[in-house]
Amino acid sequence: MQGFAGKVAVITGAGSGIGQALALELGRSGAKLAISDVNMDGLAETEAKLKAIGAEVKADRLDVTEREAFLAYADAVNAHFGKVNQIYNNAGIGHTGDIEICEFKDMDRVMDVDFGGVLNGTKAFLPYIIASGDGHVINISSVFGLFSCSGQAAYNAAKFAVRGLTEALRQEMIMAGHPVGVTTVHPGGIKTAIARNATAAEGLDAEQLAKLFDKRAAHTSPEKAAKVILNAVRKNKARVLVGPDAKVLDIVVRLTGSGYQRLFMPVLSQLIPAPHR
């Protein structure tokens, strides 16, 4: 896929952050957008910005965990535009806390949104993307899909699952001869609302954790992230590392193997304290 003009792109979690930045960058490139979010205020803001630049847009509330709703949404988007070329499975949430103290319901919720939402979006839109003859599936994993981190077990599990699903899908599309590119995205620290909106286990201060993340880990703007991601889509890259921190961490993990776990502990203990330590 060389360009985006005339392509129909679906973006979940488009009400803020990377999702909104992707929508605007694609809109400027001539793509037609189907955007969704559960945050209706943020979604309306993205829709207004797209209309202001003359982009064609369909905006809908969508909870990515609701499978039947997602399947119906895919049918509606295809009926509206007549085709679907791309999906950016971007919606995600966070929850901080050690496994020992996290509630099952909170960990389940992260898996339902961060992995289940990607699975639902991929399955719902894949037939239309294959039929387009020029398709692409872009799934947002994380740098936490490259290495594990204490206090982020649920998020790690979901993002590793996204990575596994997406890498398997890329192989399947190649082996089946389908004209579909597949890209796994591993953002590092991005200046978005995901940390500020994240929940935390009892005994942890979610607001303080978000401030620490923004101060020490958020290095890349959503706009820069969107440009990097779309450049990777144009080149049909299997994966893309977003941000200098993601690139450095990938190298460290490759060089040290499982040794990274002990190597990272001093840094992680400052970013993600646990009440029982």
Instruction: List own/partner pairs for 158-161 with CB under 8 A and 24 or more apart.
Output: 158/92, 158/110, 158/111, 158/113, 158/114, 158/115, 159/114, 159/115, 161/111, 161/115
Query: Which residues, in sequence order, are CB contacts of 75 under 8 Å at separation 6+?
Result: none
Q: How far is CA 218 from CA 201, 247, 265, in A?
A: 22, 14, 19
Give catalytic status of residue 155 as yes or no: yes
Nearest in space to 184 (alpha carbons), one of 241, 224, 223? 241
Distance between CA atoms of 237 and 183, rounded to whole angstroms?
6
Phi, psi for residue 265 in degrees, rounded to 5: -55, -45
Q: Which of 73, 88, 155, 260 is catalytic?
A: 155
Catalytically active residues are 155
